[in-house]
Structures are given as structure tokens and as C-alpha cells.
Amino acid sequence: MSNHDDKYEVSKKYLDAIDFHLLVLKIPEDEINDKLAYLAREKGHITRSFYEDFAIATCIANINQLLFHMNKQSSNDLDILDVRKKIMEAIIEVNPLLSPDKLIINKNYVVKVKPDGKLEDGDRPLMDNKQWDTAYYDEIAKVYEEEEGKKKKTPPKPPKNTKKPKLPREALRDISELECGAVKKWWRRIGQYITVKKYDPADEESILRSRFFHSRVSFNTFVVSVCVENFEDLFKLLATMGISSRVSPHILMQELYDLCKSVNPFLTFENAQELADESEKSTQRPKKPKSNYKTSSSMTDYLKKESSKRFRDVPKEDLLNLATNMKVSLIGQDKAIDEMVNAIQRASVGLKDPEKPIGSFLFAGRTGVGKTFASKVLADELIKERDNLVIID
């Protein structure tokens, strides 16, 4: 339930419709207007369902357990609207000031509790807007219609019959040497503009062939690190605002990547895969033959091909840049990465006990911080494959 108990009073409310106990937080009166300030980004166009979503996310301490419980009952005849109504009744019973009829929107679109005296010029009731009475299912249908409309407006991509020739390796330029512009993009998540670098499409190969991408997630992270100006400071801001603890890092990275792609439409994972060097692809281990029977000579050849990589087989440049490349995929885990890489680099030059492993590391933390992902990225960056990676869950 996290640590809400330390700050807020918690009331338990039973929902007989779904046989579930809600844990409703009582928001202090002096904090309610601060919470409602989140709605200002909607510019006054707030539907009832949007406000209910906000209230539920703000006041229900066990929201994840609630959603999981409702998902298990989705096969039954569950009246979602009735459940939402009961949840809102429980929230308003504990937090009467969050009742929609007690809220107003001022001329700056800030939602706040209605004052005791007269309303100021420009103030109007929250429910006095055209979107408020939009039905829950009508709103969902509108979203689907908008998505379908976008798909219809988007012209089909012409078939790719031929691959464009690649530039020679020596013709590629370092990313730090590329000229770029700057475009301000509004990130709704934080309610601020961020600066995105705009590159020339002619520099596509210099950007996408600069490293090997083992997954779409690592590619998105790379694009964000290249295109978002002062992206490390941005992630510190997210941590300060408490967003990184409430929202999955993958969701944040996807939103940032979408902003980068809107400025640089050629920076796609598909283009990166198409431009991948054959030398990178050739490092993948060949498929094993279906038959388990081998002659002695073929077995010898097989063992030669399947011999495990040693440090002398890893390019020095890869070892030197290992920490930098790993930090592109693993955000906020610099200390753990440096400890691992230091041990690996020492072992690569023989500075290790021959009777002991290179290093033994114990990572601790909540789900999603990158414990397992760190070993996957290490395998991808060091040997370009995961065949030698053993995961025990």
C-alpha cells in the first residue's frame, strides 16, 4: 500500500458489488487545491469520467489491487458505471470537498474548491462546461473514432523494393559533430516544454549506425539520450516531482521517444534494423542443426565454431565504452554499472584472482528498477548475445 499511512488518514470502505475493501485516503483540506491544480492542463474541458479517474487515482490507496480484482471479474456481468459510482460515493464521503458541485474553474482554468463568499469574475462551476456530461462510453467511442480517423488519413507506405546503399564506415560522422536545430515540444506529463534536437535526415546513418540496438526499448532510450537536450537533468526533475516513482520508466521513455520522433521522423527502430551492419549480425550465434548426431570430424568443427568468447575476442573499444553504452539503456543506475564495468575491465587485463569469479554483485530494489535488465544489457553490450546468460527467477 506504499507509505500513505504516514501522511494521510486511511478509511476502509466495502464495495459489495465487487466484494472488495477500498482504502480511501483523506486528503487534508490545505492540500486539496494543490491536488486539483493537476486538472488545469485540460483548459477547462473536463468530462465527468476524467474527473472521476483523477479522484480515484488520487484517493484510492490500493488502486492497483482494485484494478487487478476488477480485471479478474471482467468475465462476469460487471456494471462498470455502477462500480465507478460507488467508488466516487466512498471518496466523497471521506473527502466531501472533492464533490464536483463544490468545485469551480477560474479564468486561468485552475480547478479549486468553491470559496464561501461570492465568486470572482471568470469563476464558473466545474460542471458548467460542455464536456462535463459526455457519457463514459461515448468518450471511449470518441477515442476509438479519432484513432480510426488517424489511420485512414495516414497514406499507406510505398513498398520497399530495394535497399538503399550504405555509406562506407569511414564516411560516418560522430554524433557530437552533427549539426542540429532545436525545437520546443510540449510534454503534457510535466506540463512543460522540453527542447528536442532536430537532425538532418541526411545524417540518419551516422546516428543509427553508431551502435547496436538489442531491443526496441534500448533504441527508444538511445534516441531520447541523443535528441532530448539535457535529458539527465530532465530525469532528475521527474524524480523531484515524484513522477518517476508513480509512472513506469518504460512509459516515460515511450512518451519522450514519441516527441523525439515527431521532430525526427526518420529515427525509427525499423530504420535502425535495416541499417544494422552485417558485422553486428554476424556476431549472432548460428542456429544449431536439428540432428543431434555428429561424426567426430563434424563435432570438432562444431566445437571450434561454438567456442565461447574470451576477453581477447572482445574489441578494446567495446570494453572502454562499456559503461557509457550501458548507461544509455539503464537510466539512474550509474553506480551499479560502474562497479560491474570496473570489475570487468580489471579482469580483461588479468587483474583478478584466477580461483575466483570476475565479480559477485547483489542488486536490491523494487520491480522495474532494472536489476534483471542490467544483466541482459551487459550480455548484449559485451558479447552481443544472451546465450551465455542464465536467469533464475
Q: In tens digits, what is the pLDDT along the chain, a chain of 393 residues? A: 444 445 778 999 998 888 889 999 999 988 888 888 888 888 878 888 888 888 898 898 888 888 888 777 655 567 778 888 899 999 999 999 999 888 888 888 888 888 876 777 788 888 887 778 776 555 555 555 655 665 566 666 555 545 556 777 667 788 888 899 999 999 888 888 999 999 999 888 888 876 777 778 888 888 998 899 988 888 888 888 888 777 777 788 889 999 999 999 999 988 888 877 544 444 444 444 444 444 444 444 444 444 455 555 677 777 788 888 888 777 778 888 888 888 887 776 656 566 677 667 777 877 767 777 787 788 777 766 655 565 655
Q: What is the pLDDT of residue 62?
A: 87
Per DSSP, the three-state class of 333 is: coil
φ and ψ of 198, to 5 deg: -110, 115
Amino acid letter, residue 56: I
% helix / strand / coil in the chain, to the nearest 5? Answer: 50, 10, 40
Tell me which long-range contacts 225-229 makes (C-beta under 8 A, separation of at least 24). Answer: 225/328, 226/175, 226/197, 227/196, 227/197, 227/199, 227/260, 227/263, 227/264, 227/267, 228/194, 228/195, 228/196, 228/197, 228/256, 228/259, 228/260, 229/182, 229/194, 229/195, 229/196, 229/197
Determine contact, residues 111/37, Cβ cutoff 8 Å.
yes
The three-state secondary structure class of 123 is coil
State the virtual CA torsion across 215, 216, 218, 223 in degrees, nearest 10: 150
pTM of the model as a whole: 0.39
Residue 124 corresponds to which amino acid?
R
CA distances from 208 to 126, 196, 204, 316 (A): 48, 17, 6, 21
Amino acid 164: pLDDT = 59
pLDDT at 38: 84
pLDDT value at residue 194: 92
Chain centroid, CA 10 distance in Å: 30
Domain segments of the chain as ranges: 4-140, 174-279, 307-393
Going by C-alpha positions, the residue among 111, 86, 84, 110 that lies closest to residue 100 is 111
Give every CB contact of residue 321 below 8 A, 6+ residues apart in sequence: none
Other beta carbons within 10 Å of 388: 11
What was the pLDDT predicted at 263? Answer: 93
51, 37, 46: which is closest to 129 by C-alpha? Answer: 46
- Residue 132's pLDDT is what? 81
* CA–CA dist 55, 58 (Å, integer): 5
| Phi, psi for residue 62 in degrees, rounded to 5 | -105, 50
Burial state string for 162-173 with b = 16 or more CB within 10 A and e = fewer than 16: eeeeeeeeeebe
Distance CA 357, CA 343 (A): 10
Following CA atoms 131, 134, 140, 142 in sequence, which dihedral angle do they give, to the nearest 10 degrees? -60
